[in-house]
Amino acid sequence: MIGLFDSGIGGLTVVREVMKRLPDYSLLYLGDTARTPYGNKSAEVVAAYGLQAAKFLVDRGARIIVVACNTVSAVGLTAIRQAYPDIPFFDVITPAIATVKKVSQGHHIGVMGTRALVASGIYQHLLSQENNFQVTAQAAPLLVPLVEEGWLDRPETKRIIRRYLAPFKQAQIDTLVLACTHYPLLKSLIIPRMGKRVKVIDPAEETAIALTQWLVEHPAEADSLPLGASHFYVTDFTPQTEKVASNWLKRTIKLEKVELK
Ligand code: DGL
């Protein structure tokens, strides 16, 4: 099975992109809703939580793991890879970086993400191996609860977005990475605000493309994956979470509460 996990329900934006491209595969999703958000926590704690989530999915039969969380992708991959060296892992940063390298003409990119992701300096680190890349990074933590409240088109949300995007506009970036699972749901506000000159990269989409491509290149692994219904697990259940999750995926889904060990 293809397993995906996130700090909460944000990773469903990755699931949505995967389902668009690989609609028949059975997916296992885990959202650590009891401990969300990860974005304001220390790298050490995020890495430990990420490892627990990966273990849960592997124990339930996942043979490919997608780290559908920007924060864990930034600070928690090493521990997970060491624990499961034989499992193919996809994170949401590597495919985004590959696209940045392809599309950025001015080599000045903006990264909007959680505090932990921005503090990790991961984009600066991964792009510093390339010539002349300049990175302007900005944490935008207030957008996470706004998206979860469904305030996708409110004047308040627009005002906050304007505030968060100001440093990118001022820096005259040419490419903006939406480095938090929730931000793709605000694309219709962010893209026009940044203007036509700026390319906006959605890591959820790039990750789903990378996974699909990998399955094409690895037909034996692809054929061994089960088809059928997907399963959605959370570490804390509320009817509201289930409602939001169903809205985002545009289908009714049932969330099952589990405990991580
Ligand atoms: N899903 C998280 C991420 O992409 C955002 C929410 C959180 O801070 O946990 O990093």
Q: Which residue is listed with tokens 């259940």?
A: 237
pLDDT given at position 129: 77
Tell me if residue 48 is catalytic: no
Domain stops at, among 166, 188, 203: 203
Indicate whether 156 and 83 sit together in one domain: no
Q: Is there a single domain that holds both residue 75 and residue 18?
A: yes
Residue numbers in the known binding site for substrate are 6-7, 38-39, 70-71, 181-182
CATH number for the domain including 230? 3.40.50.1860
Q: Which helix (H) or strand (E) holds 192?
A: helix 187-194
Q: Which residue is listed with tokens 């191996």? A: 129
Tokens 């959202």 correspond to: 31
Query: Which residue segment(s) compose the domain that 125 sits in?
Result: 94-203
Determine which one of 126, 180, 186, 208 is catalytic. Answer: 180
Distance CA 84, CA 3 (A): 13
The two tokens of residue 42 are 């220390």
Given the residues 1, 9, 67, 69, select the one marked as catalytic.
69
- Rounded to two decimals, what is the model's pTM? 0.96
> Over the chain, what is the mean pLDDT?
96
Report residue 24 as tokens: 């028949």
Residues in contact with ligand 1 by the CB-under-6-Å rule are: 6-8, 10, 36-39, 69-71, 114, 117, 144, 180-182
Pair type for strands 64-67 and 89-91: parallel
Q: What is the pLDDT of residue 245?
A: 96
pLDDT per residue as tens, the chain (261 positions): 999 999 999 999 999 999 999 999 999 999 999 999 999 999 999 999 999 999 999 999 999 999 999 999 999 999 999 999 999 999 999 999 999 999 999 999 999 999 999 999 999 999 987 768 999 999 999 999 999 999 999 999 999 999 999 999 999 999 999 999 999 999 999 999 999 999 999 999 999 999 999 999 999 999 999 999 999 999 999 999 999 999 999 999 999 999 998
Which atom of ligand 1 lies closest to the CA of 36? 9
10 shares its domain with 135: no
The pLDDT of residue 261: 84
Which 8-state DSSP code applies to residue 227? B
Q: Does residue 199 share a domain with residue 98?
A: yes
180 is catalytic: yes
Same domain, 195 and 99: yes
Final residue before a domain boundary, out of 176, 203, 230:
203
Rounded distance from Cα 182 to ligand 1 centre (Å): 7
Number of domains in the chain: 2
Structure confidence by residue, pLDDT tens digits, 165-209: 999 999 999 999 999 999 999 999 999 999 999 999 999 999 999
Helix (H) or strand (E) holding 175: strand 175-179
